[in-house]
Amino acid sequence: MNTIRVLVVEDSDMVAEILIQALESDRHIKVAGRAANGREALELLPRLKPDLITMDVWMPIMDGFQTVARIMETNPTPILVVTSTNLKEDVQLSLRMIAAGALDVIEKPTMSAWNMWAHQKKELVTKVRLLAGIKTYTKTSPLKPRSEIAETKPDYVIANAEPIKNNFRLNKAPVHEDYQYQIVAMASSTGGPTALLKILAALSPDLPIPFIVVQHISEGFTRELVEWLNREVALEVRVAKDGELLESGVVLFSPDRYNIKVTQGRRVSLNAAGKVVLCPNADILMQSVAENYGNRGIGVILTGMGGDGAKGLSSMHAAGAYTLAQDEATSLIYGMPKAAFAAGAVREVLPLESIAPRLTVLSRQLLRRTNL
């Protein structure tokens, strides 16, 4: 394996030293330089030509969002956002950085506790090794204004711990029995936030079907990701609550540290991670959809590393559900879709831009009833 050269962009000397120590604990990673702000990063980039940049969020002179936007316009390079999860503003800006072209986000490592430090260091090194080889391209328009999103038209013409407690509001709309498909289960990992934004932004809020999403992201980022998506798309997006009734046109995300299932009563069931290593777990969600919805479910596997979702999607496929996977060309990481395809679980492989139109068509497909 070739040495991965990293440019660390961080205004705090102490945090920069922690990052450098963590990165260079791997013999395949070398820190080629450090910049204290965005302007310094832009000056160093042409000379150092790093394989990857770790990018802070708030910095003097030029913040992380401005810096990512400039880099993606002039000298596209893989960027990993490194930020704090205890400040809402940090997480919100880090998600804007992903929309502008950064590949992923991770919590800043700290040395407050040895077991936490070891875990954070391992996660940082793993993400750097994974993202350094990804090809990046000039990015000119990361986001549409909300007004444009609301007017998006589909390309197709339609012919026909402890369970989290909550207070429920009135249902937006029940799931209509006249439609063939009753639920969409989606799973994504690395590259997922941008892929989900593109899909959800192209869907109409009056779709007669509910959505449940398992997104693998560093702990502490899910709620802000959901709020960000909810601001940017016309559908209602929120974090799922235990016992919640599924509603048409609503997108529910599994919360951090909880696995999510659906029940026969069209409700959500949340369970703490327990012994499951990967949580939230897409296999668990999709298995429950197969068991309770059979051929009336839709399963979607998007970009991401690993193989989560392949077994669950296989169960859905065997039950007669409609199963989709993002293609390799548009996947940031072709791990999860590849595993699902290799398992024989995928009925249709589509580029990212074609997934929303296909979901629109499927969600409005009327149930074919047999007269006896």
The DSSP secondary-structure symbol of 251 reads: E
Residue 62 to residue 170: CA distance in whole angstroms: 45
List alpha helices for the chain, DSSP H.
13-23, 38-48, 64-74, 88-100, 114-131, 146-150, 192-201, 222-232, 282-293, 310-318, 336-342, 352-363
Q: Which residues pair with 188 in a beta bridge?
A: 215
Q: Which residue out of 188, 189, 254, 354 is catalytically annotated? A: 189
317 a catalytic residue: no
Residue 118 to residue 135: CA distance in whole angstroms: 29
- Check if the beta carbon of residue 48 is closer than 8 Å to that of residue 75: no
Residue 169 to residue 281: CA distance in whole angstroms: 27
Strands 250-253 and 236-239, sheet pairing:
parallel
- Check if the beta carbon of residue 38 is closer than 8 Å to that of residue 67: yes
Residue 161 to residue 164: CA distance in whole angstroms: 8
Strands 258-262 and 236-239, sheet pairing:
unpaired
- Check if the beta carbon of residue 94 is closer than 8 Å to that of residue 59: no
216 a catalytic residue: yes
Residue 331 to residue 192: CA distance in whole angstroms: 9
Q: DSSP readout, 73-107?
A: HHS---EEEEE-SS-HHHHHHHHHHHHHT--EEEE
Q: Which residue out of 308, 314, 317, 354 is catalytically annotated? A: 308
189 a catalytic residue: yes
Q: Which residue out of 216, 218, 314, 354 is catalytically annotated? A: 216
Residue 64 to residue 85: CA distance in whole angstroms: 15
- Tokens representing 361 are 């068509």
The residues annotated as belonging to the active site are 189, 216, 308
